[in-house]
Each structure stands twice: as C-alpha cells, then as structure tokens.
Structure 1
Amino acid sequence: MKTTFNRNRKKFFLIPFGIAALLAIISSVVMLLWNNLLPEILHVSTITFWQAMGIFILSKILFGFGKGGGGGPWGRHKVVERFKSMSPEERREFKEQMKEKMCGWKKPNSENS
C-alpha cells in the first residue's frame, strides 16, 4: 500500500514553486502600486522588484499573516460572541462602559442608539 505522501509526491514537490510564484506575483503588484501611486502622492522614490518583496515580507512579519477572515484585527469576533450571550441589561451596561472609554465621542446621527 502506498502512503499519502507517496501518492501525492508530485503535489508536495510543486508546493515550493507555487509559493515562489505567488510571492513573485504579490511582489510585482506591490511594486506596481508603489511606483504608480506613492511617488506622486508622498514624493518618494520608486522601488525595485526586490525592494517590493522585502516590503511585503517585512509587513507580513510585523503585522501578521492573518487568520483567514476571523472578525478583524482586534478580535472583534470575540466581542460579538460575548455581546450575543448578554442579557439586555448587560448590553446596556456594556454600551455605557464603551461610551465612557471612548471619552463620550459619538458618531454623527447616533443620538438615539
């Protein structure tokens, strides 16, 4: 009997090439966007393909690789789940606490919420 690895050896062999191709495409997009937008907007110089790849990799290291959806960068999905399980009184109290934390700032036209 063949193991899964032996049956899918070609797929495992192609994975590094797929990753390299994806990285090259993303780096090209970063380079094109940078070179077409930022020199006119921020008066910066243009970048090369390798610099674009470095910027992309650095941004992934600093800001994370993402979790595929998950509800936002600050764990908003956790707050939504907690909010769903609250009673109406707990919701009102939570909203009041959030208003205090936000220094009383309100969105326009949100007088009745």
Structure 2
Amino acid sequence: MKPHNRKKLFLIPFGILACLALASYAVMLLWNALLPDILHVGTISYWQAAGIFILSKILFGFGGPRGGGAPWMRRKRMMEEHFRNMGPEERTKFKEQWRDRCNWGKRRWDWQEPKEEAKADN
C-alpha cells in the first residue's frame, strides 16, 4: 500500500465522525425549530439528537449506492425483481408452492373443529 493511501485510511474515521456530528447538529436544529410548536414536545440536546439520528439509521437503513433503504426493503425489491424475471409456468409453480406452504384458503380455526374421524365414531 502506498504511503498516501495510508494517510487517507487514517482520515476515514474522522470524516465519519464529522459527518455524524454535522447530521446530529442538523437534527437538533430542525427538531427544536419545528416540533415544539407543531407537536408540543420539548426541545432536545445535541446528544439526544445524535441518539435519534443513530436510531433512525439503524431502523431505516443507511442508504447508499446499493439501493439504500432498510434491509427488508432491499430483500423485497430483490424478490420482486426475481418474480418479474420468472416465466408464466415458473410463476404459477411458485404460487402453488407458497399456497401449500402457507395453507392459504384454509380457515385459521380448523384446529378448533372436531376431526371427521371423531364425528364418525359417535
């Protein structure tokens, strides 16, 4: 690795911290400027804003060039694209497999009703 690349690698954590600090400050300013008047909530400190920002990133994803969004949204998009690329025969076979797997069309309270064998014994 070249020496100037090592310097860049050393600066990456500081850049991430600077972006986090700037985003947290923006969250604090926006929260304190808007939400107390709109929702009648209290103002927040810088560290509370940092916590809200980090929590939102954990819950909703970090975005980025790979499609961004929350992880479950990426999986949903992948499944939709996979389903779009299926042929008609593959699609019907897939639907039948899921219908069997999920017991679609059956009532959820079937377990409460007596079985046919028990009715025949009486």
Larger deviation, residues 22-31 vs 61-70: 61-70
The Cα of 1:22 is off from its aligned counterpart by: 0.3
CA distance in 2: counterparts of 1:72 and 1:57, whole angstroms: 14
Structure 1: where are the runs of 5+ without partners?
A: 101-113
Greater share of residues in helix? 2
CA distance in 2: counterparts of 1:21 and 1:71, whole angstroms: 21
Alignment of 1:26-105 (within 5 A): 26-66=23-63, 68-70=65-67, 72-73=69-70, 74=73, 75-88=75-88, 90=91
Which of the pair has the greater relative contact order for Cα pairs under 8 Å at 6+ separation?
Answer: 1
TM-score of the pair, normalised by structure 2: 0.57
Going from structure 1 to structure 2, the CA distance change for 1:36 and 1:69 (only over 3 Å counts) comes to: farther
Code of the residue aligned with 1:16 in structure 2: it is P
The alignment's C-alpha RMSD in Å is 2.9
CA distance in 2: counterparts of 1:35 and 1:28, whole angstroms: 11
Code of the residue aligned with 1:44 in structure 2: it is V
How many equivalent pairs are there?
Answer: 92
CA distance in 2: counterparts of 1:63 and 1:16, whole angstroms: 22
CA distance in 2: counterparts of 1:14 and 1:39, whole angstroms: 37
Going from structure 1 to structure 2, the CA distance change for 1:72 and 1:64 (only over 3 Å counts) comes to: closer
The Cα of 1:46 is off from its aligned counterpart by: 0.7
Report the identity percentage.
Answer: 59
CA distance in 1: counterparts of 2:19 and 2:61, whole angstroms: 17
